[in-house]
Amino acid sequence: MNYKKLFKKYQGARIGMLTNQSAFSNGKYHFQIIKENLDLKVIFIPEHGLFAELQDQVSGSNLKYDFGNVRMENLYGDEENSLFVKEETLAEIDLIVFDIRDVGARYYTFLTSCFYILQSVAKYNSAATSHSVEILVIDSPNPARQKVEGSPLQKKYSSFVGVETVLHRHGLTIAEMMQYYKYEFKLNVKLHTIPVGEFYKKKDEVFLWVPPSPNIPAATTCYVYSGQCLLEGTNLSEGRGTTRPFETFGAPYIQMQNEKLLQRLTEFQKDTFILRPLIYIPTFHKHKGEKCGGFQILLLNKKKFHSLLFTLHLLRTLREFYPNEFQFLKGVYEFRSDHSAIELLAGDDKILNFLNGDSNYLELEEYFKNEETKWKKKLLKIV
């Protein structure tokens, strides 16, 4: 590819870039390509670090990289204000490039970082008199494909793990999501896109998969993440500390040989998945060094499997089977303490009511179908 021709229009522009190791193709990281062809001033480092070397909710304040005269600005520090680009930084650049892989779920914080940048740029552009900042999105495939799941996040639950109005599994590429944000929130931002295929090809998704964060080891993880991320709000291990996080889950209080539990967990979504009972010992994170009973999700039909419904049914069932052991976690989660982690992740009172036993599975399924249809119709007008 002729990168110089591709970036010809941006010669002379001062560039900032939100990226990490997932932006890799043709044997190079994309920030290297940008640096070789353009005036790259600053790299914005998202959660997990530039090379996905940090676990979830770990500050990147102490990260150090040496790429010559390119400055690093951490966007996941010790306090909530670290999530936002500084106004003085915006005054020093003309273009911000978004080049980072998403996994198709609203909890995944990279696109929230993009959203916060869009908001900051829109505010800056509206106030500035002689200078404005534009956005260039290097688009990439959504590894979870176009399937959607769930319901819009309610405003009161808006946080770093969820932008209001967005579904749990959104079905959009990064550029499409940025276009949605611009439209939905009326943001004063000039948005440019390099389409999917210019850098990434379809084969890259499986054969050239680079983990965008340390616990998304394979493209298949993305098909379960939209539901299994809810486990972060519970005392269940979501498989961190194993080689198949989110596909594997369990806890010390779950017995492997529990046929009644297995039957309950698999009574819906027939022929879309199998649960493999197992015992594992996490090497870090929840229940580190403890023997956990649990399961691995083996997908039979990725297109039909509804991860969110599965996980919500899982959580409600485990509350019934282990009422004294199963717990929803309390305390600070992603800089927020006014709502619990499960509230921020679920983001919808109807879902929370289901978890409390106020509705049944079929009612929730019908509710999701209606909300997913509304989302698809809404997107037709935008992206």
Can you list the pairs that 39-42 forms with residues at least 24 positions away whose Cβ atoms lie under 8 Å? 39/12, 39/13, 39/14, 39/15, 40/15, 40/70, 41/14, 41/15, 41/16, 41/70, 41/71, 41/92, 41/93, 42/15, 42/16, 42/17, 42/70, 42/71, 42/72, 42/73, 42/89, 42/92, 42/93
* Residue 133 pLDDT exceeds 90: yes
Residue 71: how many CB atoms within 10 A of its CB? 15
* Residue 311 pLDDT exceeds 50: yes
Q: Check residue 195 and give its pLDDT.
A: 87
* Residue 128 pLDDT exceeds 80: no
Domains in the chain (CATH in brackets) are 3-216 (3.40.50.12170), 222-347 (3.90.1150.140)
Task: Compute CA distances 366 → 17, 150, 168, 292, 353, whole Å.
Answer: 41, 11, 16, 34, 15
Contact 191, 178 (CB under 8 A): yes
Taking residues 114-122, what's their average pLDDT?
A: 98
Q: Check residue 202 and give its pLDDT.
A: 57
pLDDT tens digits, 202-245: 555 555 789 999 999 999 999 999 999 999 999 999 999 999 99
Q: Which two tokens stand for residue 241?
A: 């500390």
Taking residues 170-189, what's their average pLDDT?
A: 97
Q: Give rounded-to-5 percent helix, strand, coil for the chain.
A: 35, 15, 50
Percent of the chain with pLDDT over 90: 90
* DSSP helix/strand/coil, 183: helix
* Residue whose entry in the numeric block shows the structure tokens 């009326």: 186
Percent of the chain with pLDDT over 70: 96
pLDDT tens digits, 42-68: 999 999 999 999 999 999 999 999 999
pLDDT tens digits, 339-357: 999 999 999 999 999 999 9
The average confidence (pLDDT) of the chain is: 94
Taking residues 109-128, what's their average pLDDT?
A: 96
Q: Check residue 245 and give its pLDDT.
A: 98
**In angstroms, rounded to a whole number, what is the distance separating the alpha carbons of residues 95 and 84?**
16
Q: Check residue 205 and give its pLDDT.
A: 57
Q: Which two tokens stand for residue 278?
A: 């197992």
pLDDT tens digits, 264-305: 999 999 999 999 999 999 999 999 999 999 999 999 999 999
* Residue 1 pLDDT exceeds 90: no
Task: Compute CA distances 191 → 83, 122, 248, 382, whole Å.
Answer: 21, 11, 39, 14
Taking residues 109-129, what's their average pLDDT?
A: 95
* Residue 193 pLDDT exceeds 70: yes
